Amino acid sequence: MRAQTFPLLLLLSLAAFPNGASAQQAIAHKSVYTADLPKQLPADLASSARPVMPRLNAKEFPQSLFLRHNALPSDGPTRPAPGTTAGDDGTPANAQPSLNRVPNAYGNMSPFAPYTMSRVSASALGVTNLASQVGVTSAPWRATGALYFKVGSATGACSASMIRPGILVTAAHCVYDFGAKSNAGFHTNFRFYPALYANRAPPYGIWTATAEYISSSYYNGTDTCLSTGVFCNNDIAIIVMARNAKKLLPGRVVGWYGYGWNGYSFATSFGGETLASITQLGYPVAFDKGYAMERNNGIGAYFTTGNLKNTLMGSPMTGGSSGGPWLVNFGTVPAMVSPATTGSSPAMSVIGVTSWGYTTPGSELVGASWFGENVEFPKAAYLDSHKVNRGSGNIGFLIAQACTAYYDHC
Q: Are 133 and 344 in contact (CB under 8 A)?
A: no
Residue 110: its pLDDT value, please? 43
Provide the CA 285 distance to its chain's centre, in angstroms.
Answer: 16
Residue 78: its pLDDT value, please? 56
Task: Encode pLDDT of 47-81 as tens digits.
Answer: 667 666 776 666 666 555 555 555 566 555 556 77
Q: How many Cβ atoms are within 10 Å of 136's Cβ, its own excluded?
A: 22
Amino acid at 127: V
Cα distance between residue 199 and residue 308, in whole Å: 40
The full set of domain ranges for the chain reads 26-61+69-121+130-334+344-409
| Kind of pairing between the strands at 365-369 and 325-328 | unpaired
Task: Encode pLDDT of 169-205 as tens digits.
Answer: 999 999 999 999 999 999 999 999 999 987 677 889 9
What are 328's strand-pairing partners? 278, 349
Task: Encode pLDDT of 76-119 as tens digits.
Answer: 555 677 777 767 754 433 333 333 333 334 444 444 445 555 56
Sign of CA dihedral 392, 397, 399, 404: positive
Residue 197: its pLDDT value, please? 84
Q: Please give, one letter per residue, the 3-state secondary structure of the chain.
A: CCCCCCCCCCCCCCCCCCCCCCCCCEEEEECCCCCCCCCCCHHHHHHHCEECCCEECCCCCCHHHHHCCCCCCCCCCCCCCCEECCCECCCCCCCCCCCCCCCCECCCCCCCCCEEEEECCCCCCCCCCCHHHCCCCCCCHHHEEEEEEEECCEEEEEEEEEEECCEEEECHHHCECCCCCCHHHECEEEEEEECCCCCCCCCCCCEEEEEEEEEHHHHHCCCCEEECCEEECCCCEEEEECCCCCCCCHHHHHCECEEEECCCCCEECHHHCEEEEEEEEECCCCCHHHCCCEEEEEEEEEEEECCEEEEEEECCCCCCCCCCEEEECCCCCCCCCCCCCCCCCCCCEEEEECCEEECCCCCCEEEEECCCCCCCCCCCCCECCCCCECCCHHHHHHHHHHHHHCHHHC
Sign of CA dihedral 290, 294, 299, 302: positive
Residue 64: its pLDDT value, please? 55
Low-confidence ranges of the chain (pLDDT < 50): 1-22, 90-113, 123
pTM for the model: 0.81
